[in-house]
Every structure is written in C-alpha cells, then in structure tokens.
C-alpha cells in the first residue's frame, strides 16, 4: 500500500477508513457507494472531489466480515495483502477515470 495512505480500523463499529489525500479548502467533496466495483455492494463508500475526480478516501463497512471473505477468496492468511489489493483496485479505478477525464464513481 502507498505509504501516504492512512488505514484506521474502529473495532467497536467494525468500520475501516483509508485516507488517501487531504481535501483542499475549496474542494467539492462527494461521497458515493462503490461496493459493486469490488464485490461488496453497499459496504464501500468513497470520498472524492466532484470537479477534479481526485480520490480523498474510502470507508469499508462491516470490515471484519469483508476481510474474512477476501482472505478466503484469495486463499491467504495475510490480511494486509488483501487490504492493499482492495485499496489499490479503487485507487486504480480513480486514476484511470482521471486519465480519461471522465467523472468517477458512476455507481450510486
């Protein structure tokens, strides 16, 4: 995972947050559900600038269940590897959309 990314897990709510970048003062921050992109509908929210498409962060609901499922799917006991691959997939999606100047997160 990129060293600039900050991963935080809140055990009492079973929610994980990944901060990618800090929004600028004049950013128009939008939040969209993108769980379909990674196979977990309704569980992944992304925060991004609606004007530039810059990704600011992600929120994963029911993280412990999602992590177990991903570990089982990928046949691994290394949770960090699974987390990094999940985050990378979302980051790549936003990078690709920005390269083609399309609005990201078409999933509502």
What domain range includes position 90? 6-99
Does position 2 have pLDDT exceeding 70, yes or no? no
Give domain status of residue 15, yes or no.
yes
Report the percent of the chain where pLDDT is more than 70.
85
Please tell me the predicted confidence (pLDDT) of residue 106.
40
What's the total number of domains in the chain?
1
pTM of the model: 0.74
Give domain status of residue 10, yes or no.
yes
- From the list 17, 80, 81, the residue with the least C-alpha distance to 44 is 17
Give domain status of residue 50, yes or no.
yes
Give domain status of residue 105, yes or no.
no
| Tens-digit pLDDT profile for residues 18-46 | 999 999 888 899 999 988 888 888 899 99
Give domain status of residue 104, yes or no.
no
| Tens-digit pLDDT profile for residues 41-71 | 889 999 998 888 888 999 999 999 888 888 7
| 10: DSSP letter | E
CA 87 to chain centre: 5
């Amino acid at each position: 995972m990129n060293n600039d990314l900050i991963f935080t897990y809140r055990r009492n709510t079973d929610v994980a947050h990944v901060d990618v970048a800090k929004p600028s003062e004049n950013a128009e921050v939008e939040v969209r559900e993108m769980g379909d992109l990674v196979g977990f509908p309704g569980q992944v929210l992304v925060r991004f600038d609606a004007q530039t498409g810059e990704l600011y962060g992600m929120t994963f609901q029911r993280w412990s269940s999602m992590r177990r499922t991903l570990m089982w799917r990928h046949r691994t006991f290394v949770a960090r590897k699974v987390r990094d691959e999940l985050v990378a997939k979302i980051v790549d999606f936003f990078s690709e959309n920005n390269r083609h100047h399309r609005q990201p997160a078409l999933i509502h």
